[in-house]
Structure 1
Amino acid sequence: MNDNNLYKVGIIGFGPKGFYGFERLLAYLNEADILNDIQIHIFNTTEFVASGDVYRTDQPEYLIMNYANRNINSWVLQEPFSIASATPDFITWLTAKGHTNAAPGKYAPRAVVGSYLVDCYRLLLEQLPKNIKVITHIGTVTNMIKKNHKYQVFYTEGKRGAQEAVVCNKVLFTTGHHSFKTQKNQSDILDSKINFIYPTNEKLKSVNAASLVAIKGFGLTAIDAILALTEGRGGNFKKNDTGDLKYISSGREPRKIYPFSRTGLPMVPRNGSPMSETELHFFTEEIIAELKQDRSISFNCSLLPLIKNEFYFAYYNVLFKNYGHQFYFDEDFTVIEKQVKYFHEDYPNAPVFNWETIVNPFKEKSALSTDEVQNYMQYLIDEVKNGEEESPLMSAVATWRKISPIFNELYSFGGLDAVSHREFDSHYFGLFNRLFYGPPVKNVQKMLALCKAGVLDFTYAKSATISIDDCDSNFSLYMENGQRTEINYFVNATISRAKEGGFKNELYQNLLKNGLIREFENKSKTSYKPGCIEINKAGNAIDVNGHVNHDISFYGTPTEGITFDNDTLSRTRNDFASVWAKYVCGAIKEKDERIENYKRQEHVF
């Protein structure tokens, strides 16, 4: 076949989101009964195709999901149906493979989830139509230019470093965090400073036993780093007589690990329970419709009061039940407050709802002690064990899971005013992540055991500063009160998100330079650039001149900032993949019809 007539589709970045786009494209092509030859070019930086680096299959088993088994499914039951004859969800797959931890509420190792994704990808390849060829390129895509209505995708292939190029008609970007710096600098090269911890076995191997390690952050990545330096070094966690975990040292772990972050707080853990049936009370259909009419929403004035009310009602709904009382909803919030007032008069020792105590119980403290953090972790563990049905705190926090998809609709494409958009990105995004998207309770129990064993030290947990001298690899953690500790290793366990002054990644810088994309700017009332690309509601790129380019689409992490919470494994949240696949299929069909018409006209003449 003439290469000009061969249709080529590129998918840049092939983790779960790339796989989802691929699966939908095959489904639409199959439904349309397209028989002409098509090439699908897959570009991925590593050989972990379909799993991506987050779920790479060579990870140690102690790195587990914070997403229960019941929530994982690589397939969607929607038309057009997948070309795969078998579409097992994760639990079905686990059971078939003989895994012992296949229960819905359990948390699987990330490597096992990666193996599931790879198997799902194989199911598609095994039933690939003969006219479709998949070509995989392992390397780093660095540039893309438009040429004659097509796109040259430039990538550096593997370890050889050879520059290659592939011409594509349509391209889907499902890359990771595009704000990561790809250029190496002095601090990246130093063995004593680790800027990115994955894969942990490789990136943290330089950390010596009995050393002092500072870890920036106390989220999921930081927990992975801490476990890699302890359990990953041969340490063990065993249950003691009270059922709590005790850490058994291997002698190969660091002497002290000092986590530090802005708040100094651990994430609220999860217990794997399904979402409760309780409905939201204040985010009513009428209020949501009214908010959608206002394309300049104030978070503090319009949304935060509703969120606080949902937390408040969920909290007291459980607290009242614990005391044998019924809590009644009323559209007039003062009526609800009166119920609470009378309740506390009858039960003065009952806990009182306080928004600030929930979101940051140590807000007024400039520093925290190890004992304070340790006691707070034990409190969270106890609350999580009680669950949403018995813990007012967990019931309140769980409301965000129901609010989140509604908030996504209101936030996306500049729905908030610019000031609110900036404030949410810089403060509330991290806050709600800490409250709801935390680790399994098992991992917090491990952190507590490490704390009691003296390995984990929270002396510098809040408001610490680290001094770095790249020339001689010296680090020290210090507080405003003058307290200081010399450090042997510094681990950055924070994940870079899109933010003002983004586009540090070479590929996205070049896309910007070539005019294929432009930076999104929220101009509502004032101005805010969240550091993300501008797309339309179908996920298509907006070019430098403000025109929609239907040939280029984005899905997943690259859309963060203009959309909200692109969960890596979700098939429904901000599903640009289905829109993209349907459009590409239509474009291929239209081109085939033009070619056939041209051939018929040639025959006539």
Structure 2
Amino acid sequence: MAISHSAPPADGPAGPPPAARTVVIVGAGPRGTGLIERLAANAAELLPPRRRVEIHLVDPYPPGGGRIWRHEQSPLLRMNSMAEDVTMFTDERSAIEGPVRPGPSLARWAAHREEFAPHLEPADPAVRAELDALAPGDFATRRALSAYLDWVFRRAVADLPEWITLTVHRGRAIALTGAPDGPQRVTLASGVELTGDQVVLALGHLGADLDEAHTVSAEFAARHGRFHLPPAFSTEAEGPLAGVAAGEQVILRGFGLAFVDLTALLTEGRGGRFEHLPDGTLRYRPSGREPVLHVGSRRGVPYHAKTGYRLQGPPAPLPRYFGPDGVEQLLARPGQLELRRDIWPLMAKEIGFGYYHELFHAHPERTTLPWADFLAGYDRFDWYTDERADLVAAGVPDPADRLDFEHLDHPLAGLRFADPQALREHLCGYLRADVERRADPAHSADLGAFLALLSLYGQLPRVLAAGRLTARSTARELDGWWHGFFSFLASGPPGFRLRELLALSEAGVVHFLGADLAVELDEAGGTFVASSPSVPGHRVTATALIDAYLPKHALDRTEDHLLAALLRAGELAEEVVADAQHVHRSGLLTTSPADGRVLDPSLGGAGHPRRVALGPHTNGRAFAAFARPRINAPSFRQNDAAARALLRALAADPLGPRDPCDPADRPHPRELPDPTDQRERLDGGDRMGAGLTTARP
């Protein structure tokens, strides 16, 4: 059922208006919502006045939040960004061709909801109460973000011009067919068919069938009656975790954000509670239903906590080294590039610039050179040079104030502990120091580095689009080291999560295994056995294994039926980077960097004129659909470019006028009212002046 607008004014030539053009967007989460916002922003410029457009939005999950950020998940799950650092809107820093349309961050919307139309209060009283109390520096629950995303979706729809209508189909798309020069048909699981002139696959985060390693673990667990949880979205993990018994010994392989979420579900989620002590620490009171958790990973430590302060000095003018000119010079080099050898030195220098700019301006008492002198030398010297190291040593006398990427990346490298207790004492000290540092504005240079780190994503897509990285570097450095390093430094949990981890360790609920974790499958005992060189000779035996990672996109094993069918038909391709030494299959869908067009092997690898794909399942590698304000987010740039390309294609009308009797231009019979096609109005739709309704096949 459509969002119905009144007919557009007859300001064109006499006669019936041309047939409506149709866009089918598969995926109603933040990425699909962001695309709709950009369609609304660009429509007045790019669509002829009388060109009617129908948008069909398909997703089994609620619009706005989608699968990952929907309301129906545990209230224990939180964001890892402060409320003031979350926005879905472009701003003055957005380098886009279309118009900038600013909007509130999560924090500002929560504090001033009554000022923003459409005004619609969340149905959940707990979410309303949280939003009423939400401070800019708070880490909101995912349910609170879901309410914000729901509002953003409704605002985007309300901003569509009156000649564009939108229909929400709460169903799963399973097939996409149609010739490149003809209508595209999207089939839903219910049998409903939707016809579109353009189709967008904004599928968001997708799971995949188990790879070989996880299949071996799963089969082992089934054979011995043990528990195994493969990589899973935290939103959907609570049910499966019920299979872990109270007091059961569990190995968690992975120490990132998935670990944080899963630990919350297995502790507080089972009735345990944290008490605040007078000295500012926490004590955990177990419920008795918790398992015993043993955690390790490649680094052996959790992600760094998020900073809890603002810059103390003026913002650094980013970018300085890894900006348009630096990238231009980089791409002018002959031959292929490698990330660590050729690109990382510029990236590291940019991060260092953000760090030292804040240190010198906010904490000059800890420096011994004038900033202008330091910067003059810093400009001259490459990152991996003795001259730069000497300059830093001369200008920053305390080694603790110097930026050391190697130590940050490998905090347990070379360390060996006599027993698990010695490792625990070391890691507890490490965690306390990290929490204290990230809460102390005296270390605001860390935030300067963080902001510079984020700025790298403004230019990195351009480097990747050039296709100059070697296959080995793409595999091991871009999709391997760099993604992990960025997440470790920039995507960590709120500080209170690490304080909770300390309390869980004190309570004997969580135990640390160390770095370079290895897990063996003991057929004789039917158990999982973990070990780490951090504690030589120490082994932990468990009856449950949790792979505490998020699922990785793998097109050849994708859970998405539509993508799988197109892959079998040879109408899309996995990104493959190959050279004489290496072949890398990234698992990502290959698209055009310019506008997201799906590169179709059946068209000789050209961009499909009627199919677009956006999001983390593509080789665009712009994962976050929402972003921190004023960072020129790549996802916003992608959305704008794709929206403008779609609107131009619709305006060009390559199909010409349609025959009104053409079945392709009429609703599929299954879309007519029948017992299996229940339609319900979304709350508040009429307040948008847009009759927003949902079709449930």
**TM-score (normalizing by structure 2):** 0.74
Offset at residue 585 of structure 1 (A): 2.5
Alignment of 1:286-325 (within 5 A): 286-294=325-333, 296-311=336-351, 318=359, 321-323=364-366, 325=368
SS at 2:54's partner residue? Answer: strand
Q: What amino acid is aligned across from residue 107 of structure 2 in structure 1?
A: I
CA contact (8 A) 1:23 1:82 kept: no
Deviations 1:61-104 (A, max 9, x none): 33211122222223336886699xx9544223201357344433
| Structure 1 pair 398–587 and aligned structure 2 pair: CA distance change class (3 A) | closer
Q: What amino acid is aligned across from residue 338 of structure 1 in structure 2?
A: D
1:112 maps onto 2:144 in alignment: yes
Higher mean C-alpha deviation, range 9-18 or range 114-123: 114-123
1:261 maps onto 2:297 in alignment: yes
Q: What amino acid is aligned across from residue 477 of structure 1 in structure 2?
A: A
1:585 maps onto 2:647 in alignment: yes
Offset at residue 336 of structure 1 (A): 4.4
| Structure 1 pair 322–547 and aligned structure 2 pair: CA distance change class (3 A) | same
Deviations 1:383-412 (A, max 9, x none): 21224x535555545532233322332233
Whole-Å Cα distance in 1 between the matches of residues 495 and 342 of structure 2? 33
Q: State the identity %.
A: 21
Alignment of 1:153-552 (within 5 A): 153-156=186-189, 162-178=190-206, 180-181=208-209, 192-195=227-230, 196=232, 197-254=234-291, 256-274=292-310, 277-279=315-317, 282-283=321-322, 286-294=325-333, 296-311=336-351, 318=359, 321-323=364-366, 325-326=368-369, 327=371, 328-329=374-375, 330=377, 331-333=379-381, 336-342=388-394, 353-365=403-415, 369-387=423-441, 390=443, 395-396=448-449, 398-424=451-477, 425-459=479-513, 462-467=516-521, 474-479=527-532, 483-498=538-553, 503=558, 505-523=560-578, 526=581, 527-536=583-592, 537-544=594-601, 545-552=604-611
Q: Which of these residues, 558, 569, 572, is aligned with residue 633 of structure 2?
A: 572
Q: Which of these residues, 22, 40, 43, is aligned with residue 55 of structure 2?
A: 40
CA contact (8 A) 1:475 1:487 kept: yes
Deviations 1:418-474 (A, max 9, x none): 2221222122211121111111112122112211221111135641315287x9985
Whole-Å Cα distance in 1 between the matches of residues 653 and 259 of structure 2? 50
Match of 1:145 in 2: 177
Q: What amino acid is aligned across from residue 364 of structure 2 in structure 1?
A: K
SS at 1:356's partner residue? Answer: helix
CA contact (8 A) 2:276 2:283 kept: yes
Whole-Å Cα distance in 2 between the matches of residues 218 and 432 of structure 1? 14
| Structure 1 pair 203–451 and aligned structure 2 pair: CA distance change class (3 A) | same
Offset at residue 33 of structure 1 (A): 5.7
Offset at residue 13 of structure 1 (A): 1.5
Count how many residue pairs are aligned between Structure 1 and Structure 2. Answer: 582
CA contact (8 A) 2:87 2:106 kept: yes
Whole-Å Cα distance in 2 between the matches of residues 395 and 131 of structure 1? 46
Match of 2:111 in 1: 95
| Structure 1 pair 474–165 and aligned structure 2 pair: CA distance change class (3 A) | farther
SS at 2:177's partner residue? Answer: strand
Whole-Å Cα distance in 1 between the matches of residues 193 and 111 of structure 2? 43
Q: What amino acid is aligned across from residue 362 of structure 1 in structure 2?
A: L
Alignment of 1:64-103 (within 5 A): 64-76=78-90, 88-97=104-113, 99-103=131-135
SS at 2:78's partner residue? Answer: coil
Offset at residue 41 of structure 1 (A): 1.9
Offset at residue 232 of structure 1 (A): 1.8
Q: What amino acid is aligned across from residue 417 of structure 1 in structure 2?
A: T
Whole-Å Cα distance in 2 between the matches of residues 42 and 146 of structure 1? 18
1:20 maps onto 2:34 in alignment: yes
Higher mean C-alpha deviation, range 376-385 or range 311-320: 311-320
| Structure 1 pair 287–224 and aligned structure 2 pair: CA distance change class (3 A) | same
Offset at residue 247 of structure 1 (A): 1.6
CA contact (8 A) 1:145 1:152 kept: yes
SS at 1:556's partner residue? Answer: coil
SS at 1:529's partner residue? Answer: strand
Deviations 1:109-165 (A, max 9, x none): 111011111122233445666654433333333332224712222332xxxxx4443
Whole-Å Cα distance in 1 between the matches of residues 400 and 514 of structure 2? 33
CA contact (8 A) 1:106 1:272 kept: no
Offset at residue 167 of structure 1 (A): 2.6
Name which structure has the greater RCO, CA cutoff 8 Å, separation 6+.
2
Whole-Å Cα distance in 2 between the matches of residues 112 and 399 of structure 1? 28
CA contact (8 A) 1:182 1:506 kept: no
| Structure 1 pair 350–119 and aligned structure 2 pair: CA distance change class (3 A) | closer
RMSD of aligned alpha carbons: 3.8
CA contact (8 A) 2:457 2:633 kept: no
Offset at residue 49 of structure 1 (A): 2.0
Deviations 1:244-290 (A, max 9, x none): 22222222322x11122222121011124456612455436543320
SS at 1:434's partner residue? Answer: helix
Offset at residue 340 of structure 1 (A): 3.8
Match of 1:159 in 2: none
| Structure 1 pair 233–516 and aligned structure 2 pair: CA distance change class (3 A) | same
Deviations 1:9-39 (A, max 9, x none): 1111211001111222234445536545543
Whole-Å Cα distance in 1 between the matches of residues 448 and 161 of structure 2? 49
Q: What amino acid is aligned across from residue 376 of structure 1 in structure 2?
A: Y
Q: Which of these residues, 36, 50, 71, is aligned with residue 64 of structure 2?
A: 50
Whole-Å Cα distance in 2 between the matches of residues 297 and 15 of structure 1? 35
Offset at residue 313 of structure 1 (A): 5.5
Whole-Å Cα distance in 2 between the matches of residues 414 and 122 of structure 1? 38
Deviations 1:181-210 (A, max 9, x none): 289986698882223242344332333322
Match of 2:120 in 1: none
Offset at residue 304 of structure 1 (A): 2.3
| Structure 1 pair 565–272 and aligned structure 2 pair: CA distance change class (3 A) | farther
| Structure 1 pair 404–94 and aligned structure 2 pair: CA distance change class (3 A) | same
| Structure 1 pair 191–36 and aligned structure 2 pair: CA distance change class (3 A) | farther
Whole-Å Cα distance in 2 between the matches of residues 352 and 588 of structure 1? 54
CA contact (8 A) 1:105 1:271 kept: no
Q: What amino acid is aligned across from residue 470 of structure 2 in structure 1?
A: D
Gapped regions of structure 1 (runs ≥ 5)? 157-161, 599-605
Offset at residue 531 of structure 1 (A): 2.2
| Structure 1 pair 146–459 and aligned structure 2 pair: CA distance change class (3 A) | same
Q: What amino acid is aligned across from residue 304 of structure 1 in structure 2?
A: W
Whole-Å Cα distance in 2 between the matches of residues 133 and 452 of structure 1? 57
Higher mean C-alpha deviation, range 110-119 or range 517-526: 517-526
Whole-Å Cα distance in 2 between the matches of residues 36 and 351 of structure 1? 60
CA contact (8 A) 2:57 2:166 kept: yes
Q: What amino acid is aligned across from residue 457 of structure 1 in structure 2?
A: H
